[in-house]
Structure 1
Amino acid sequence: MNLKQPFVLENTSMMRNNDELEIKIINDLKQDVALYVGFSPKKETINTLVGKNIKGIFRFYSPIEKGRPYFKYLNESDSSILFSERVLPLEGAINIRDMGGYETNDNRRTKWGVLYRGDQLSKLTDKDVELLKKIGLKTIIDFRSSHERGLNPNREISSVEQTILSDPHSSFSEAAAEAVDLHSENQKLVRSLEQGLIEERYLENPDLKVIESYQNMVNSPESIQALKKMIHVYVCSENAPIIQHCRGGKDRTGFGSMLLLLLLGVKEELVVKDYMLTGDIRKRRNALKLQMYQELTDNQRYLDYLMAVLDTKEVFITSTIDYIKEQYGSIENYSVSQLGLSLSQIEEMKNNYLEEM
């Protein structure tokens, strides 16, 4: 497996080549950097020396079967930074990733190894299931509709204690309704365009469809119930490690992850960056999807619309954040008034899922 991490930390990059990890740390201070490894996301357990050098380049033998490695590096100034592979090296899912390491507005970081987001868990291999078991995954929040779950049930993971079904009834699951496979779903989408079922304004401005769908998730009663169920799972830290996922890990999960990270005080530009990682990860898959659509239609307007719905654009998430602020004043106000959180619960979540820099 070759996996280049799309983003780890501001000054750290990682590349997996089968069982070998290459780690590069930008060393502006030109001091010796010592890299340590462990198999728990707690700094005090990460104490095996990988190496020490001024270049900040390290190679580490890390077979996936051994578990998930966590690293920390120290320089002569004795600053210690924890990190790991952001996208998990799985064979049957491409977009399962850790939301750790993000800086907050109060100079803390989200903890590694407790907050995950992803695409569906239906095609996981036995090797993948074993890795998720080793990281101690305890709670799954599944945003998919009952139809989606029926077609592609998640693999069973023995460490998981509960699965929370939290379907927001969003437009992103509508295309899958009544479809029995990917080809019939694609046919249904193209047929809806050919029959004039898609409003002209969406063909004129395809981005508008996604933006309005996200905004609808803010206020629709079904979505509010689903988001309320989702966010209250995080109040109890005993539920962690937690993964929230939908089918592709972009829209419903993108919304849920945005809400969680902003409540934890993560800097807005990093929340947007986290959302945009899906675009990098799914680039090849989206290109294959375009080929499938091209086999069904050569109408460029239809293709532009179909690909816009698949795309990952900053405006999709930034316009949603702005919309919540316009409607409710802040993410906190929205979560208190609509999702039933208290300010003390939000503080409790911060204490549970953040650590000092």
Structure 2
Amino acid sequence: MNINKYIAFTSILMLGSLNIMAQTPKVSRTLEEALRADRVNSTSYRIYAGQNMQGNYFIGKTVETIDYSKPFSLAKDSIVAVEENERLSFASILAGDTILISERLIPLEGPSNFRDIGGVKTKDGKQVKWGQFYRADALGSIQEDEFPYIESLKISKVYDLRSDEEIATSKDNLPASIRWIHHPIFNGGNSAQMNAVMQKIKTGDMTPEDSRNLLITANKEFINSNLDAFKVLVRQLLDNEEPSLFHCTAGKDRTGLTSALLLSVLGVDKETVINEYLMTNYYTLPKMAQKKDPKMAAAFANIDPQVLLPLMSVDRSYLEAAFTEIDKQYGDMDKFIREGLEISDAERKGYQMKYTY
């Protein structure tokens, strides 16, 4: 079977059959953050502060415009009011260390996995810059009244990692100010293969273990068969002077590995990279369970949700399969970045200086 084609197929399946996820498992935040800002509604944030994190805080419309002359006190889990759909950034200075935060999930009605990968800690104690790299699922459901908020993010380019067939199903709906770039990780394929897989799912011939193994194999194939596409993409993202976004259909497999590679180049350790990857479940699975599609409900009424859940979520074993393949072929991530991604140590240091603080 063409594993790449299967990834595209299961991503489309994911978006079309959300109603079958009634048995969605409980999920939790996997990315540890001493401080975080979550949107409560269009006019307020809740700032979550961990133990010993109470003190003076500072606020700005961007990290660069935070006003350090006007501190404000923040009690545990405080509410901060904002203008309609305004995005804010916050800073805390504790024990001489500055922590910068902003909202991670971009609050849109349609996409459920549109998020900023900034704020992630690096191995040397720095943070990846907020507002520079965004990852997302399909963007065709964005509404035009959400354009002003998206434009406020200053995203200059969107890299669409989907195949021609996926794009034909749902084109991105973006403000005219954003340049759309088609960068398929893979393209083409045999629709007969997809029909055969669908039939196997419907007849109950596929097991949960089969589903997991397919995605483990797919992540290995990303390194074995699709590395050139990822190499070019990562370089373009790092060389872009302005904020950029990359996405596929579900925002979890092709997008997930792209995010993992970017964060690795910027000096984030493996476990933190995996925890950021697993945040897809935190953001998407609850939303899946809430959506209804009567036609899909009828079509998949007799299918074991445990067979579909591995296809519609992420698991650390999926990304670890890619990491294992990297170690097998290159020895470690550092050598892979030098030889696989063709980013020299000097270039990598430059990117880290540019995109961390």
Task: Report Cα offsets for 1:238-294 as digits up to 9, x if no partner.
Answer: 1x2011111111111001111111111112221111111111111134435899766
Q: Which residue of 2 aligns with 1:84?
A: 102
Q: Which residue of 2 aligns with 1:136?
A: 154
Task: Report Cα offsets for 1:33-58 as digits up to 9, x if no partner.
Answer: 1121111222x5344747315x3443
8 Å CA contact 1:35–1:52 kept in 2: the answer is: yes
**SS in structure 2 at match of 1:110:** coil
Residue segments in structure 2 that go unaligned for 5+ positions in a row: 1-27
User: What is the aligned-residue RMSD (CA, Å)?
Assistant: 3.1
Residue segments in structure 1 that go unaligned for 5+ positions in a row: 180-184
8 Å CA contact 2:208–2:308 kept in 1: the answer is: no
Q: Which residue of 1 aligns with 2:44?
A: 20
Change (3 A) 1:315 1:124: same
- 1:295 counterpart = 2:298: yes
Q: Which residue of 2 aligns with 1:119?
A: 137
Q: Which residue of 2 aligns with 1:182?
A: none
Bigger RCO of structures 1 and 2 (CA < 8 A, at least 6 apart) = 2
8 Å CA contact 1:37–1:70 kept in 2: the answer is: yes
TM-score, scaled relative to structure 2:
0.81
Task: Report Cα offsets for 1:180-199 as digits up to 9, x if no partner.
Answer: xxxxx8x8753244579x8x
Aligned-residue sequence identity (percent) comes to 23
Deviation at 1:319, TM superposition (A): 2.6
Equivalent residue runs for 1:338-357 within 5 Å: 338-355=340-357
**SS in structure 1 at match of 2:58:** strand
8 Å CA contact 1:40–1:46 kept in 2: the answer is: no
Query: Which segment drifts farther, 32-41 or 273-282?
Result: 32-41
8 Å CA contact 2:266–2:348 kept in 1: the answer is: yes
CA distance in 1, matches of 2:268, 2:142: 30
Equivalent residue runs for 1:57-68 within 5 Å: 57-65=77-85, 67-68=86-87
Change (3 A) 1:119 1:204: closer
Task: Report Cα offsets for 1:128-163 as digits up to 9, x if no partner.
Answer: 221121111012111111111122111232332x33
**SS in structure 2 at match of 1:80:** strand
Q: Which residue of 1 aligns with 2:20?
A: none
Q: Which residue of 1 aligns with 2:60?
A: 38
- 1:190 counterpart = 2:198: yes
Match of 1:11 among 13, 25, 34: 34
CA distance in 1, matches of 2:113, 2:160: 15
Match of 2:331 among 329, 332, 338: 329
Q: Which residue of 2 aligns with 1:281?
A: 283
Q: Which residue of 2 aligns with 1:225?
A: 228
Change (3 A) 1:47 1:298: same
Task: Report Cα offsets for 1:4-25 as digits up to 9, x if no partner.
Answer: x957752224443321212121
CA distance in 2, matches of 1:50, 1:155: 39
> Which residue identity lines up with residue 151 of structure 1 in the other structure?
T
Deviation at 1:305, TM superposition (A): 2.8
Q: Which residue of 2 aligns with 1:243?
A: 245
Task: Report Cα offsets for 1:189-226 as digits up to 9, x if no partner.
Answer: 53244579x8x7x6654311100011001011xx2232
Deviation at 1:178, TM superposition (A): 9.1
Deviation at 1:327, TM superposition (A): 1.6
Deviation at 1:71, TM superposition (A): 0.6
Change (3 A) 1:52 1:95: same
Deviation at 1:83, TM superposition (A): 0.2
CA distance in 2, matches of 1:26, 1:324: 36
Change (3 A) 1:334 1:78: closer
Change (3 A) 1:64 1:40: same
